[in-house]
Amino acid sequence: MSYNLAVKMAGWRQHLHSYPELSCHETQTAAFIRGALEGLGVAHWHGIGGHGVVGVLARGDGPAVGLRADMDALPIREATGLAYASRHEGVMHACGHDGHAASLLGAAMLLRDDPAWAGTVYFIFQPAEEGFGGADAMLADGLLRRFPMRRIFGYHNWPGLAEGTVMLHEGPVMAGTANFSVTLHGRAGHAAMPHDCADPVQGLAHLIVGFNTIPARETSPLDAAVISTCTLQAGAARNQIPETATLGGTLRALSPKTMARLKARIGDMARAIAAAHELDAEIDISGELPATVNHPAETALAACAAENAGLTVRHDLPPSMAAEDFGRFLEHIPGAYAWIGNGASASLHNPGYDYNDAILPVAARYLAATAKAALA
C-alpha cells in the first residue's frame, strides 16, 4: 500500500472524527463520503435507509460482494485533547466508525487501482448503527434488491487486540440484544405512612435483584446471557412515595433460544413481583437485534484472504456480549465479521478513545483482499 493512501485515509478519518454526527443525523458525514467517492471516480447512490451511501465498482462479468462500514457517532463528550477532537459538543466518534468509513474508502481506492478482479463490489456506508436500526432501514429500502450481492463482509476495530491483528470467529462474534423497560404503577402517598400506599420503588428494588438471578440461575453456565439494569426513574420528593417507578436496561444472549428465555422471564418476574406488592406492571421490550454469527465458508474465505495479504489472523478469542446490527445482513446473505486490533487504546465508548490510524492500511487491505477472494 502506498504511503499516499495511508496519509489520505488518515486525513479522511481525522476529518470525520472532528465532525461527528449522531445516528439518523449523518447528513454532513454522508456528504463527505459522497465527495470522497466522487474524487475516487466511484459511482454511488445515497439516501438509502436514511443517510446511507452505497458506492459501486463494476468490472466485467462476475458475482457481486458487499463491504460494509458504519458511520454514526455517540452522544459522548470527548476527552482526548487531540488536535482533531470533536468540534460538535457532546458528540464523539467513540466507537471508531470514523475509521471504519475511512478504511472502506481506502479499500475502494485499492480495488479501483487493482486490475486483478472481475465482478461488482458494493461499498456500503451504513447510518444509525448505534441502536437506531440502520441496517434494518437500509434493508427495508431495498438494499439487497437494488444492489444484489452474494456475500457481505465487515469489521470492527478492537481495543486490546494487538495492533493490526485480524480476529475471525468461527460462529458467534457479538451478542443479540434487546432493550427492556418496566414501569410499576402503585398508590402514591406520604412517606411517613407507607401502609396507606403501594410502593413501586420497593417493587423495583426486588425486580433488580430478581432479574440478576435469571442469567445466574435460569440459564446454563455454558450459555452466555446478560441482564443489566441501567436506568431508574422514580419520584420527585424525598417525603413522598411516588405513584410510578420505572427501570430500563439491556438483554444480551448469543443464541435465539436464550434470548427468548430472557424475554419471557423478564415479563413473568415483573408481573409476579408487581402482584406481590399490589402493583401493576407495564413491560416493554424493543430494539431487538440478532447475534452476529459468522458463516463458516465466508469465515474461512476471509481468513485465507487475510493471510494471503500478509496479515496476522487469529481465531481464539471468545465472542463479545456487545452488539452490532451487522447480524441483520447475515440473516439474509452469508458473510463474516472480523475484529481488527486497535492496540493498547482506551475502550470503545470511552471519552478517551481514538481509532488508531496505524491500522487503516491493514483494514483497507483486509477488506480489499476479502472482496477479491469472494469474487474469485
Q: Where are the beta strands (DSSP E) in 260-323?
A: 280-289, 292-293, 313-314, 320-323
pLDDT at residue 2 tops 90:
no
**Mean pLDDT of the region 78-85:** 97
Domains and CATH numbers, the chain: 3-171+294-375 (3.40.630.10), 175-288 (3.30.70.360)
**Mean pLDDT of the region 39-51:** 97
pLDDT, tens digit (0-9, with 9 covering 90-100), for 197-214:
999 999 999 999 999 999
For the chain, what percent of residues have pLDDT higher than 70? 99
pLDDT, tens digit (0-9, with 9 covering 90-100), for 162-210:
999 999 999 999 999 999 999 999 999 999 999 999 999 999 999 999 9
**Mean pLDDT of the region 315-326:** 96
pLDDT at residue 1 tops 90:
no
Number of residues that make up the chain: 376
Q: Where are the beta strands (DSSP E) in 135-258?
A: 151-159, 166-168, 172-185, 189-190, 225-234, 240-241, 244-253
Alpha carbon 342 to chain centroid, angstroms = 16
pLDDT at residue 52 tops 70:
yes
What is the C-alpha to C-alpha distance for residues 63 and 65, in angstroms, rounded to an integer? Answer: 7
C-alpha cell at 228: 443489566
Tell if the pTM clears 0.75, that is, is over it: yes
Please give the C-alpha separations between residue 273 and each of 59, 188, 360, 363, in angstroms, as whole numbers.
Answer: 62, 18, 51, 50
**Mean pLDDT of the region 93-110:** 98
pLDDT at residue 270 tops 80:
yes
pLDDT at residue 343 tops 80:
yes
The predicted structure's pLDDT at residue 258: 96
pLDDT at residue 230 tops 80:
yes
The predicted structure's pLDDT at residue 3: 67
Considering the chain, what is the average pLDDT of its residues? Answer: 97
**Mean pLDDT of the region 7-17:** 98
The predicted structure's pLDDT at residue 240: 97
**Mean pLDDT of the region 70-89:** 98
The predicted structure's pLDDT at residue 83: 97
The predicted structure's pLDDT at residue 32: 98
pLDDT at residue 51 tops 90:
yes
Q: DSSP assignment of 327-343, as one string? A: HHHHHHS-EEEEEEEEE
Q: How confident is the model at residue 64 (pLDDT cuts 50, 70, 90)?
A: very high
pLDDT at residue 275 tops 90:
yes
